[in-house]
Every structure is written in structure tokens, then in C-alpha cells.
Structure 1
Amino acid sequence: MGVESLLEPLIVSRNHTVCLVGGARVSAQVISSILPIVDQFVAVDSGADHLLAAGITPAVVVGDLDSISDHARATFAGRLHPIAEQSTTDFEKALSRVEAPMVIALGFTGGRMDHVLAVLNVLARYQSRAIILLDDTDLCFVARAGETRIAPPVGTRMSLMPLAACRVTATGLRWSFSDQDMQPTGFISSSNEVAGPITVQTDGPLLITMPAALLSLAQKAALRE
């Protein structure tokens, strides 16, 4: 079943960047660093507690709301949007109801491994959207079919991980490759290194991972600006 058939009524629709905040570890420093570029925050279940601690009021609090604290529940009582169905994760519940040109997702890495794997599954299925997964150390985004360009500083760590079978040409890396078959059970490019401006050509979803400090570059690449 395609993503289009799973579309839900929108809760938030913005013309600028929206940040989804989940319940995994989120540092106050990361939240502070993205304030200038985020138009609106959406709390995903106990992500509401992170925003409460940071003094930020979310547009809405979305999810099955089984892990939000009583304090956050009471504080944001008028913004709660419970979604009880259990066929999707809270991350997908929020993402499918938010419309924005760019989504930054905090608080969805670390913690339970099955949660992280479920997030990657969602990224693969929503590959047509510009979504950046961000934590204290790293960020990642999906380079969808076509050409993606990005120019991080030489020496930057970068990994290219296929989310499905795809054929990839990547230039500008220390270990570049051409017309390479990549798949989750086959060839991947982990802990590669930037040697110059990067061009990636792929016919399928390819997860690009690099340091979190390069968020502005990742935004432009994900949006193909």
C-alpha cells in the first residue's frame, strides 16, 4: 500500500520548517540551535515533556499519548490530539498529519532499537518528502531518486546506506563509486569521507548520514535547492 493511500486529515500545515519532537533523548542545546529555522513544533507523545522543559509550546501533541507525563498533559491540555490506532508508530501518526516543505525530527534515535528501525522504515516509505532525522551527534536524510548535491568540508564523515535496492553513482568521496548496485543486504558505504563537492545519483532511496553540525547543508540537499 502506497503512502498516498495512507494520507490522514492534516493537523498542521505550514509553508516553512516544522519540527517533530519525540520522546527519546533530546538535548536542550539541539533544541536551541534549531529555533531560528523552525516555524512550528509538533510534540509526538512524550516529546511534549522535552518541549515543556525548553519552554516551548507545541502547535499540537500527537500520538497515542501513552507516555506523556501528567504535567505535560495538563499544561498542553488544549493541544492534545490523541490517535488511538495501533497500526502505525507515533512518528508516522504525526508525519502523515503534518504538511510542510521540510520536517526536522528530533527525539527519534537512541533508546529502543525497534523504535529506531521503525523510523527508518517510515523514512523509506515517505521518501518523496524532505525529512531530516537529527540528534546531538548526527543527522540523516533520504536522497530520493535523481541527483542530490552537497558540499560539506573536506574530511567530513559521510555514510550512504540504501533503504531499498538501488543503483548509485557517488562522486566527491574518498571512496567514490559508479553505477554500483546497493541494497540493505549487499553493498553499502559506511564511514566514507568527503574529498570534494558530493554528487549522488540514485534510482532508489539512499540514506545519507553526516554530522549534525551540517544541518543547513543537509536542508538544502534534501530540498534540492
Structure 2
Amino acid sequence: MNSGLIRSQSPVLLVGGGDCPAELLEPLLARSAIRVAADGGAAALLGAGVTPDAVIGDLDSLSAADRARIPADRVHRIAEQDSTDFDKCLRNIDAPLVLAAGFLGARLDHQLAAMTVLARRPDRPCLLVGREDVVALCPPDLTLELPVGSRFSLFPMGPVGGTSRGLRWPIDGLRFAPDRVTGTSNETDAPRVALSLDAPKMLVILPAQALAALERALLHAPSRWPAPA
């Protein structure tokens, strides 16, 4: 499989053109050495005094003024209109984890599109970071430590089942589907939560305060989903 435009041995920051205030962006900049913009997301990076290492997208929202501030060899136009800029970026970043800001909040349709891409690209570990929530596609096995009583929501993007430990309402024996059984508003009842899933279809949705815990868990997950056939 083509590894894409960006390759890194450490987490990569991806910034979109949605809700991405300075107080959300600044701590993420400190967590990543490579910073990529999805089209108009370059404005947030430039506003923070950071020149993107790459800009990827159809470039319909990258202003001429911002483009002039970025070296031409860092701007990568992908003209096709069959995928979102987020999808274009994610499939072109090969890294242990992508921290993605500017894709939650603002517009619900954009949020839904981003979550769909997480399920479409299960082999590209990605953590969506917003003001209120962090979201990731659950790998085959995930273990993380959280305060007891933490909100822990699971939402299926397709048919999926599995087992859990450390949740107030265990998922063992349930078959999830977006139009049938979902797992929102669960919570932890132990300091360690362990999940095992049988398909790359389950989103984990946690409070924004769980960013560090979820980041560690994703980076230390024992396996990841293969690329779709």
C-alpha cells in the first residue's frame, strides 16, 4: 500500500478548517513535531506562528494570502471530489497516530463525515480532538485508565460486537449497529477499562479531559486493523 505523502515515527498533528481555537491547538502543537493542514486548516496553524509541513486537499478553502506564506513544495492538491479533505489527508499520513483538530464542532455534517472516515480508514489510527470530546475508532484491543465514573460512550458505525471490562454496563453478548443497539452514555466503574472488538466499526467517545489517556492507549494498542481490501 502506498504510504502517502507524510511518514513519521511519532504522532502527527492534522488541523482542519473547522472549530480549532488557540487554546485547543496550542497543547497539540507541543505533542507533535510534524504538522499537516487539511486545506483551509492552514490558517489556524499560520495564526499560531507555525508553517505547515504539508497542506493536503482540493485547496478550495486555502486563501491566496495563506498559500503565499507556505513553500510551494509543501502544498499538495488532490483534485478529486469523491472524498473529503480529511480523507485525503488521513490516507496520505503514515504515522502511529494522527491527532486531528478542527473536525469536531461547528457543523454536524462535517463531524459525521469525519467519523465516517475513521471507519473507512481503520488502518490509520486517528484521534479527533474537540472542545468537549475526543473520538477514535477502537482498535481490536484497547486498554486505558480513567477516573471511575468517567463518561464512556461507544457508537457503532456498522455491525460490531465485543467484550468489555471496567464499564458500568458491559457490552459482552451485544451486537451493535447504528440503527439498532448503541452504547452511548456508559461510564467507567473501575480505574482500568479494557475492550476487545470483532470489527473495525466502533467509535470511542470520551470527555476532552481524557485526551492523554486515550492517546496513550491508542499508541500502546497491541494491534491495529488491516487496510480494507
Normalising by structure 1, report the TM-score. 0.91
CA displacement, residues 133-192 of structure 1 (integer Å, 9 cap, x when unaligned) = 1111110111133x2111111121110111110112222112223221111111111111
Query: 2:79 is matched with which residue: 54, 77, 84?
Result: 84
Query: Is 1:119 aligned with 2:126?
Result: no
Aligned pair count reads 218
Normalising by structure 2, report the TM-score. 0.89
Other-structure match for 1:96: 91
CA displacement, residues 34-85 of structure 1 (integer Å, 9 cap, x when unaligned) = 2222121001111000001111111011111111223211111522211111
Other-structure match for 1:56: 50
Other-structure match for 2:33: 39
Other-structure match for 1:165: 159
Which is further off, 215-224 or 134-143?
215-224
Q: Indicate the SS of the match to 1:101.
A: coil
Stretches of structure 2 that go unaligned for 5 or more consecutive residues are 223-229
* 8 A contact 1:10–1:98 mirrored in 2: yes
Q: Indicate the SS of the match to 1:127.
A: coil
Other-structure match for 1:74: 68
Q: Partners of 2:10 and 2:133 in 1: how far apart?
A: 22
Residue 87 (structure 1) shift: 1.3
Q: Which runs of 4+ in 1 moved over 6 A?
A: none
Query: Is 1:209 aligned with 2:205?
Result: yes
* 8 A contact 1:159–1:189 mirrored in 2: yes
CA displacement, residues 78-135 of structure 1 (integer Å, 9 cap, x when unaligned) = 2221111111111111111111111111111223332222211110011123210111
Other-structure match for 2:184: 190
Going from structure 1 to structure 2, the CA distance change for 1:77 and 1:39 (only over 3 Å counts) comes to closer
Q: Partners of 1:61 and 1:129 in 2: how far apart?
A: 18
Q: Indicate the SS of the match to 1:179.
A: coil
Query: 1:136 is matched with which residue: 119, 126, 131?
Result: 131
Stretches of structure 1 that go unaligned for 5 or more consecutive residues are none
Q: Partners of 1:176 and 1:128 in 2: how far apart?
A: 26
Q: Partners of 2:152 and 2:67 in 1: how far apart?
A: 39
Q: What one-letter code is carried by the residue in structure 1 that aligns with 2:208?
A: A
Identity %, equivalent residues: 37
Q: Partners of 2:217 and 2:87 in 1: how far apart?
A: 23
RMSD of the alignment, in Å?
A: 1.6
Which is further off, 63-72 or 41-50?
63-72
Q: Indicate the SS of the match to 2:30.
A: helix
Q: Partners of 1:89 and 1:200 in 2: how far apart?
A: 30
* Richer in strand (by share): 1
